[in-house]
Amino acid sequence: MRRPALISLALLAATALSASLSAAAPPPDPRPRIDWRPCSAAHHPELAKAGAECGKLAVPLDHAAPRGRTVDIAVSRIRATAAPAERRGILLANPGGPGGPGLDYPLSLRPVLGDVADRYDLIGFDPRFLGDSTPLACTPPAAPPAPVSGTRRQVFDATAASARDMAHRCGQPPGNTALLPHATSRNVARDMDAVRAALGEPSLSYYGVSYGADLGAVYTQLFPRRADRIVLDSGTDPSLTQYELFQATGPAAEAALDEWAAWTAARHGTYRLGRTAPRVRATVERLVTRAERRPLTIGDHTADASRLRLITHQLLQYEESDPALARIVRNLKDAADGHAVEPDPVLAQWLQLLGSPEADELFSVPSFTMCADGGWPAGGWPAGTDAYWRATQQSRATQPVFGPQANAISACTFWPVAPGDTGTAIGNDVPVLVLHATRDNNTPYAGGVALHRALRGSRLLNVDLRSHGVYANAVSGNNPVPCADEAVNTYLAGAPLPETDRTCRP
């Protein structure tokens, strides 16, 4: 069903005023406006250095009520430099999350885009309630997160209490409960289309990775005729609930751990963690089990099982991080064996962050969208917190390291407001280029295949790689995939989609 066109309050006022003016007065511009200014060198130095413009666009808080309350979306623009005949329009980008600000993101892609960047106005934006957009925040916790230990049930109960507390704090600030239901992916996609309309463009092109890919899929469903060149990198199965998506990461992370263990065993002389993959894996399992009962102390830092799982999973996302993870596990084993050790710099950085007040924001901000999109029914899923307890314990048989994390209870279970949406059923024939690494353990490959099937007009480009993200990997310091970079750039430059699905070699 087509939704009514967006009409700003400013436009309504201008229309009323024009009726009292002479007939010779020019008609008002029907588009919402962005008041462009040079980006702040203090807040966005790289954008300022690139000569980018920044501004804000007022969009409806509730797109179903376009004349109601508005919120601001922060937008950046780097103008195309190609000749008008070669210009292709606007290219928006989203770095994922949910919860990742994106005002600077297109600028980071510019080196990989190369000459293609000259043909587009590169548009960055902070999704609603993030970054420079209208803010939304939870009441800070009374103290930084403390390590959790004890019996398995005690650890679970403490995790559930923490999730309940976060949900309560996110509903505390005045006005939050009026905003939280509107932090949906559908609304972010509508905001993207409002940006397109404000720029006077008939369509938009887009690159999104991880959650950004899911967001792009929602856009194609809501605005299929306004989608030009769409590239979705490392998305998820659109038929699964939020909880099911988290559960799917458990087996994939265990497989990644096996792969890393084999790599590390082959380098026993360097890391001394075991000459076989099973021995290396056993070392990790023992560390996590011990940290559940009693957190490990490494220098001035403390690591409980939850933190060890999170850090290990983060490093397993990329093959390039294998040496860092091996150093960390060696470091942790020495500490567990009673040796006085200083933490590896990467480990120290992670533990400092996870034990700081800023850690709360790492988990609360993504919850805004995950909870608003639904998939975590209020009051417990499917029958109270005990269902989560059973899921975490049953998963240990095949997922001894990551099962409790992948099946954990969420703040969304106790969220102070009902979901603002029931999700978006994805199924269309919009031409889309879908990218996915076959050994992605954050958004498993099966999800990318399911997204490709739902987007019937898409082509899938896969690469046999352990990586979360395929295009522009060099931006994050990982090894590039030249085949994928070339395919994306060729498509964005105007070439048709590949005739068939393709496999790239890393």
Catalytic residue, from 440, 452, 458, 467: name it: 440
Alpha carbon distance 376, 74 (integer Å): 29
* Predicted local confidence at residue 30, as pLDDT: 59
Catalytic residue chosen out of the listed positions 8, 210, 234, 321: 210
List, for residues 20-46, the tens digit of each pLDDT value: 323 343 444 456 889 999 999 999 999
- What separation in angstroms does the CA of 46 have from each of 49, 51, 91, 132, 205? 5, 9, 19, 16, 23
- Do 379 and 303 share a domain, yes or no? yes
* Helices 152-170/359-372 angle, 10° precision: 70
Q: Total domain count for the chain?
A: 2
CA distance 196 to 184: 19
128 and 150 inside one domain: no
Would you state the pLDDT for residue 385? Answer: 86
Residue 87 lies in a domain: yes
**Inter-residue contact 87 to 464 (CB < 8 Å):** no
Tokens of 180: 């939280």
Is 41 domain-assigned?
no
Last residue of a domain, which of 423, 438, 458? 423
Name the stretches of the chain with pLDDT < 70: 1-31, 376-383
> Would residue 339 show up in a list of annotated catalytic residues for this protein?
no
pLDDT at 384: 72
CA-to-CA dists, residue 505 to 124, 251, 464, angstroms = 30, 24, 7
* Structural domain includes residue 484: yes
Instruction: Find the CATH number of the domain harbouring 225.
Output: 3.40.50.1820
Those residues whose C-beta lies under 8 Å from the C-beta of residue 384, and which sit 6 or more positions away, are none
Residue 301, H or E segment: strand 301-303
Strand ranges, E, within 95-237? 120-126, 204-209, 227-233
pLDDT number for residue 376: 66
List the one residue out of 319, 295, 272 whose CA is nearest residue 441.
Answer: 319
In a domain, 376, yes or no: yes
Q: Among 374, 391, 423, identify where a domain stops.
A: 423
Tell me the C-alpha distance between 64 and 421, whole Å: 12
Q: Do residues 436 and 502 share a domain?
A: yes
Say yes or no: 224 and 299 in one domain: no
Q: Which domain holds residue 212?
A: 75-135+183-237+425-506
Within this chain, do residues 251 and 398 fall inside the same structural domain, yes or no? Answer: yes
C-alpha dist (Å) from residue 12 to 6, 16, 17, 41, 58: 11, 6, 9, 35, 14
My answer on whether 224 and 212 are in the same domain is yes
Q: What is the pLDDT of residue 20?
A: 31
Q: Shortest CA distance to 497 belongs to which of 128, 211, 230, 138?
A: 230
Does residue 346 share a domain with residue 419? yes
Q: Which residues pair with 232 in a beta bridge?
A: 208, 434
Residue 381 within any structural domain of the chain:
yes
CA distance 249 to 256: 10
**Cα 103–108–109 angle (5° rounding)?**
110
Same domain, 87 and 226: yes
Examine the residue annotation and report whether 322 is marked as an active-site residue of this protein.
no
- Reading phi first (left if > 0) and then psi (alpha if -120 to 50, else beta), residue 299 is in left
Structural domain includes residue 127? yes
Active site residue 440: yes
Given the structure tokens 């002389």, which residue do they identify? 269
Amino acid, res. 421:
D
What value, to the nearest 5°, has the Cα angle with vertex 261 and ends 153 and 328? 70
Domain check: are 293 and 191 in the same one? Answer: no
Catalytic residue (one of 8, 467, 468, 485): 468
User: Does residue 414 belong to any structural domain of this protein?
Assistant: yes
Which of 361, 391, 423 is at the close of a domain?
423
Same structural domain for residues 431 and 354?
no
**Are residues 301 and 210 both part of a single domain?**
no
Domain assignment present for residue 459? The answer is yes
Q: Same structural domain for residues 413 and 479?
A: no
Residue 423's pLDDT is what? 85
Residue type, 104: D
Where is 386: in which H helix or E strand? helix 385-395
